[in-house]
Amino acid sequence: MLSYLTFLAPVALSLFSSGAQAAHITRRATTCNGHPEFCSRTYGNVTYVGAHDSYAVGVNNLAVNQDYNITQQLSDGVRMLQMQTHNLNGAIQLCHTSCALFNGGSLQTYLGTVKTWMDANPNDVVSLLIVNSDGFKPTDYDTVFKAAGLDTISYAPQSANIPASQWPTLGDMIDSNKRLVTFMDHGADFTSVPYLIDEFTNVWETEFDVTDTTFDCNVNRTNGDPTTQMYLINHFLDKLVLGQPAPNKDVANVTNGVSGTGSLGQQVQTCVAANGRNPNFMLVDGTPDFSHHPYPPPVVATTAPIPVQPTPPDNQFQLHVDAPPSRGTGRGPYGSGDMDDGYTLVFESQAAFEAWREKEEEENVVEFVKGDTHGSKAVPPRFKEHVKLVCARHSRSGRKKYVKKFPDRVRKVPSRKLEGKGCPASISYKTYFDRQEVRVCYVSHHSHEIGPANLPFTRRGARAQVGGKTPSSSRPPENMPPPQPIASTSTAPPPPAPFEVRECAQDP
Ligand SMILES: *[C@@H]1O[C@H](CO)[C@@H](O)[C@H](O)[C@H]1NC(C)=O
Ligand SMILES: *[C@@H]1O[C@H](CO)[C@@H](O)[C@H](O)[C@H]1NC(C)=O
Ligand SMILES: *[C@@H]1O[C@H](CO)[C@@H](O)[C@H](O)[C@H]1NC(C)=O
Ligand SMILES: *[C@@H]1O[C@H](CO)[C@@H](O)[C@H](O)[C@H]1NC(C)=O
């Protein structure tokens, strides 16, 4: 079967092995937005990093949001470009608040750059979000899209409103070369230019221009049913300068971080807990880019399902970032053909692994405890031991009833198990007979707050509390260092993507 598919691949590769469907669907794209598995995912079931005011690039200007130009943003994995349009002598111009304050050039020039990148990357779906500040008509935009050659690759839906679940797959969009999706905040008209999609009947948004780090997940703007719409989180932090919001760049590393107060990772967790599904778009200031920043990009890949009620079986929380193929997709340098099973972190020894795990627990103020352990049942055995460490706040369901080791001990601290929905975070690892190597599958997404807030739920916090050192369990102690995003070190291989969490395959 495999060799058959491989042989046919250059011609037409059907992803469906069975009968009727196979006759209709021929798939050419084998990698979509950098991930083979995205080809069969619907557009509405993928999470994209978006660049807020993507054209406002520069330094030393209060009106700039981005450090790198849009070509670089796209190459860094950004797949939604947001922009504000203004009327400059009749032309559609990309300015910030006003063209006197910041003029980012004409829409046509900008779209030309997008076209160049998309031509060079034919297996990528890109979205635009236009804030139509000066109320240009859809036909005005159509003229500019045509001039840039983007009208022909623009996706026009069947109807003006599409629930998140009704979008085509990325594979279908790429195969039909309709892979530019354009939303407009107001003024869209499906009957006149169908590829300019009205944003708020299709997407709801969280609050924007916030100046505190709460980043809740409440519906702030919508013109539809938020339970079925896609949604966008505005994850950029402003500060007030002369009463006006301006990007708060000083703490960009925290805002775009993976964990801790005000981080992107934390807002995503808040949203998953509130909505039972991942955001579709995450709008950020500053390009989330491994190579240019000392902190990991706010990228989120597959997370294990979190049981929020009611959870239809097909509503897994799969949060994906579009890592560009050039940067690798979590498959890559470690070779071995073992990559698809999720064991993508490789340590040279058990000691190196333990050091990494301790650092991970320390930095995120979390604790992993031993779950299942088993050997390989295959002959010859494929590994020596498989150990699953689960977050101490995992769910009890389906597990052996806990028998108190010391029945007369009285519980002095609150139970750390989360009632009902357990935390899905886990570290599964395998050891081998013929080598020291340890391979790890890391599900790093916790369903609860991590960082100092989690301290009372760790042994360290519990000890401090029982010993009377921490006055209140709900308040993190003052001297607790802020959680640090995972830093790359040369001793242990860093996680390819810090949120790169997927289900860990159980191989025999
Ligand atoms: C965009 O930025 C990259 C470096 O980040 C640079 O190499 C490239 O020339 C820039 N492109 C344009 C059109 O300015
Ligand atoms: C949306 O956010 C803005 C800005 O914070 C706020 O003024 C407004 O009341 C919010 N609207 C809703 C419906 O939550
Ligand atoms: C989203 O994609 C995952 C992975 O393919 C799939 O299991 C799930 O059913 C999809 N969810 C929806 C709502 O389409
Ligand atoms: C963010 O950057 C500031 C200034 O460079 C630094 O002091 C701080 O430790 C960084 N925080 C994180 C979470 O990386």
* pLDDT mean over 287-313: 31
Nearby residues of 55 by Cβ (< 8 Å), 6 or more positions away: 66, 70, 81, 83, 94, 104, 105, 110
- 10: its two tokens: 């250059």
Specify the pLDDT at position 371.
84
The predicted pLDDT at position 142 comes to 98
Residue 299, classed as helix, strand or coil, is coil
Rg (CA), the chain: 24
Among 86, 96, 235, 446, the one annotated catalytic? 96
- Nearest residue CA, atom 2 of ligand 2? 207
* Whether the CB of 45 sits within 6 Å of ligand 3: yes
Is the peptide bond between 122 and the residue preceding it cis, with omega within 30 degrees of 0? no
Catalytic residue status for 448? no
pLDDT at 127 over 60: yes
Per-residue confidence (pLDDT) for residue 507, from 0 to 100: 65
d(CA 26, CA 11): 9
446 pLDDT more than 80 = yes
Taking only the tens place, the pLDDT of each residue in 387-407 is 999 888 886 543 444 444 555
pLDDT higher at 461 or 290: 461
Distance from C-alpha of 296 to C-alpha of 488, rounded to nearest angstrom: 8
Whether 168 is in the pocket of ligand 4, judged by its Cβ within 6 Å, is no
Q: Ligand 4 in contact with 253 (CB < 6 A)?
A: yes
Nearest-atom index, ligand 3, CA of 40: 5
Q: 104 pLDDT exceeds 60?
A: yes
Q: What percent of the chain has pLDDT over 90?
A: 34
Helices 138-148/107-120 angle, 10° precision: 50
Q: Are strands 281-284 and 438-443 parallel, antiparallel or unpaired?
A: unpaired
Q: What is the per-residue pLDDT across 51-60, written as a single tens digit (0 to 9) for each?
A: 998 988 887 6
The helix, strand and coil proportions of the chain, stated in percent and rounded to the nearest 5, come to: 25, 20, 55
Q: Are 282 and 236 in contact (CB under 8 A)?
A: no
How far away, in angstroms, is 219 Cα from ligand 2 center? 9
- The ligand that comes nearest to the alpha carbon of residue 250 is 4
pLDDT, tens digit, 9 for 90 and up, residues 305-353: 222 222 222 222 223 333 333 333 333 222 233 345 667 677 788 888 8
Average pLDDT, the chain: 74
Alpha helices of 238-349 — where are they, by DSSP H? 252-255, 264-275
pLDDT at 30 (0 to 100): 87
pLDDT at 264: 87
* Rounded Cα distance, 348 and 476, in Å: 36
Catalytic residue status for 186 = no
The token duo for 24 is: 């209709």
pLDDT on residue 135: 97
pLDDT of 500 strictly over 50: no
Higher-pLDDT residue of 134, 298: 134
Among 7-16, 228-237, 339-348, 465-474, the least confident range: 7-16
Residues 94/86, Cβ–Cβ less than 8 Å: yes
What's the pLDDT score for residue 480?
32
Q: Cβ neighbours of residue 257 under 8 Å, at least 6 residues apart? A: 263, 264, 265, 295, 296, 298, 485
Could you write out the DSSP letters of every residue in 391-407? ETT---TTSPPP--SST
Which of 200, 205, 207 to mutate to test ligand 2, by most ligand atoms within 8 A of the CB atom?
A: 207
Can you list the domains of the chain with their CATH numbers? 28-284 (3.20.20.190), 345-397+412-488 (no CATH)
- Contact yes or no for 138/105 (Cβ under 8 A): no
Instruction: Evaluate: CB of 69 within 6 angstroms of ligand 1.
Output: yes
Task: State yes or no: pLDDT of 488 exceeds 50.
Answer: no
Q: What is the dihedral of CA 288, 294, 300, 305, to 10 degrees?
A: -160
pLDDT at position 342: 67
List the one residue out of 212, 215, 249 whose CA is nearest residue 233: 215
Ligand 2 centroid–CA 233 distance in Å is 14
Residue pair 489/352 in contact by the 8 Å Cβ criterion: no
The pLDDT-based confidence of 460 (bands split at 50, 70, 90) is: confident
What does the pLDDT look like over 239-271, one tens digit per residue?
888 888 888 888 888 888 878 899 888 898 899
| Distance from residue 223's CA to the centre of ligand 2 (Å) | 14
Three-state DSSP string of 161-204: CCCHHHCCEHHHHHHCCCCEEEEECCCCCCCCCCCEEECCCCEE
Higher local confidence (pLDDT), 304 or 137: 137
For residue 200, which of 217, 219, 173 has the smallest C-alpha distance? 219
User: If you write DSSP's letter for every residue of 12-75 in order, what string do you get?
Assistant: -B-S--SHHHHHH--B--S-BTTBGGGGGSBGGGS-EEEETTTT-B-SS-TT--BSS-HHHHHH
- Which of 65-74, 201-210, 332-341 has the least mean pLDDT? 332-341
Ligand index nearest the alpha carbon of residue 105: 1
Q: Distance between CA atoms of 62 and 285, rounded to whole angstroms?
A: 13
- Find the mean pLDDT for residues 133-156: 98
Residues in the chain: 508
Measured distance CA(501)–CA(279) in Å, rounded: 16
pLDDT at 346: 75
Q: Which atom of ligand 3 is nearest to 45's Cα?
A: 1
DSSP label of 362 = H
> CA nearest 238: which of 270, 271, 206, 213?
213
The structure tokens listed for 257 are 């971080």
Mutate to test the pocket of ligand 3, among 41, 166, 172 (most ligand atoms within 8 A of CB): 41
Query: Is the shortest distance between the CB of 254 and ligand 4 below 6 Å?
Result: yes
User: How many beta carbons lie within 10 A of that of residue 244, not counting itself?
Assistant: 12
Q: What is the pLDDT of residue 304?
A: 27
Q: Which atom of ligand 3 is nearest to the CA of 37?
A: 5
Number of the ligand closest to the Cα of 200: 2
User: Alpha carbon of 75 to those of 49, 233, 253, 323, 364: distances in Å?
Assistant: 12, 22, 20, 9, 29
Confirm or reject: Cβ of 220 under 6 Å from ligand 2.
yes
Give nearest CA residue, ligand 2 atom 7. 207
| Most confident by average pLDDT, 130-134, 241-245, 413-417 | 130-134
Taking CA atoms only, the protein residue closest to ligand 2 atom 1 is: 220
- The response to whether residue 257 sits with its C-beta less than 6 Å from ligand 4 reads yes
| Among 149, 77, 267, residue whose Cα is nearest residue 68 | 77
pLDDT in the model for residue 27: 60
The reply to whether ligand 4 has any atom less than 6 angstroms from the CB of 484 is yes
pLDDT of 370 reads 86
CA of 68 from ligand 1 middle (Å) equals 8
Confidence (pLDDT) at 490: 32
* Ligand 2 touching residue 506 (CB < 6 A): no
Nearest residue (CA) to ligand 3, atom 9 = 314
What pLDDT, on the 0 to 100 scale, is given for residue 256? 84
pLDDT at 422: 80
Residue appearing with tokens 């190459």: 75
